[in-house]
Amino acid sequence: MVNYKELGLVNTRDMFARAIKGGYAIPAFNFNNMEQLQAIIMAAAETKSPVILQVSKGARAYANQTLLRYMAEGAVGYAKELGWEKPEIVLHLDHGDSFETCKSCIDMGFSSVMIDGSHLPYDENVALTKKVVEYAHAHDVTVEGELGVLAGVEDEVSSDHHTYTEPEEVVDFTTKTGCDSLAISIGTSHGAYKFTPAQCTRNAQGILIPPPLAFDVLEGVEKELPGFPIVLHGSSSVPQEEVDMINKYGGNLPDAIGIPEEELRKAAKSAVCKINIDSDSRLAMTAAIRKALAENPGEFDPRKYLTPARESMKKLYIHKIVNVLGSAGKLAE
């Protein structure tokens, strides 16, 4: 077994407490490869922000669990090389689907795990989450549970409908399970197509305007669970400039739409202390690669198109940290 502390990682407990008190959110960026990881660490080091490295079950299978363990340790060392004296980096399992998956991640050095039993009947969700919490807490690993279902598709997680979180259930759920944070559903969605055109309106330029998030649900949860760490999944904004670039250079992403950043800023000032972002970096990477290859069709050195992709993602991450989540300069004293 590998303990995350041996890798230089931290769990989410302290950073979430500071985020709630300070009215900002910790960035939780998903990664699948080295370039994404480099960009995340460069952005976090430059902005002096705590950061959560998220790995889905699919990403873990893609990258290999042994390599991930060393990538996480390497990320801490890289952060120090960049001048980050005491890195605050979490390695988190996103959408763990079973006790066995969560246990395996904990045993391989993850410092935080999510167990997603939201698709199960309520009592089964409680029982599964409690089982994961008991194992995780024995190793000082923090656990994120989930109530409510998000629509959309991302990796192996998919649903064709929203089920908003019921505020009256949250006290019972967190008390019975002992989870450290709770992902809720207030209208965010997974993937680059978070809403259908029928769910949106169009402005004078023909751009889709998504429906507002259900802040009444969030406020209800905060009332029932004051000061408890809340998480938002499916919170990519799907930058239109990246979508336009992908489409310009041969892509096909019609009517891709995300969560407006002003809504995320509002959420970050509440008890929402962790906001998950995945699709935005995928779009930034894909757009930069398509552009580089279109402009240099004879290029076959991956470094030549992955370098601009990495820089594009770094720029995106810095923007999210500074202008949306508000976590810049929020490292532990």
Q: Is 147 helix (H, G, I), strand (E, B) or coil?
A: strand
Q: What angle do CA 106, 107, 111 make, to 5 degrees?
A: 30
- What type of residue sits at position 140? D
Q: Among 14, 94, 172, 280, which one carries the catalytic annotation?
A: 94
Query: Taking the mean position of all CA atoms in its chain, how far away is CA 267?
Result: 14
Q: How far is the C-alpha of 230 from the C-alpha of 261, rounded, in Å?
A: 18
Sign of CA dihedral 202, 164, 24, 315: negative
Q: What angle do CA 166, 168, 173 make, to 5 degrees?
A: 85
Q: How far is the C-alpha of 7 from the C-alpha of 91, rounded, in Å?
A: 10
Active site residue 107: no
Q: Is 296 helix (H, G, I), strand (E, B) or coil?
A: coil
Of 193, 91, 107, nearest in space to 150 by CA: 193
Beta pairing partners, 153:
158
Catalytic machinery residues: 94
